[in-house]
Amino acid sequence: MAQGITDSSLRFHLQNAKNHGVTKKEIAAIVTHVAFYAGWPKAWAVFHLAKEVWTEE
């Protein structure tokens, strides 16, 4: 996220987090926290990707 890379590797890590029990609320809190360091534009890209991952069944 800090480098602005939101490709399949980030999707893989988000999917793994979901598979290991991280909730939508928890990932939102994590991305929000990191946004203050990495920047909000990069965080918004991650929010969209996380939303896709957490809406998949």
> What pLDDT sits at residue 6?
75
Q: Which long-range contacts (CB under 8 A, 24 or more apart) does 42-45 make?
A: 42/1, 42/2, 42/4, 42/6, 43/1, 45/4, 45/6
Q: What is the pTM for the complete model shown?
A: 0.83
In whole angstroms, give the CA distance from residue 34 to residue 6: 14
> What pLDDT sits at residue 7?
78
In whole angstroms, give the CA distance from residue 54 to residue 41: 20
pLDDT in tens, 1-57: 767 777 788 999 999 999 999 999 999 999 999 999 999 999 999 999 999 999 987
Whole-angstrom Cα Rg for the chain: 10
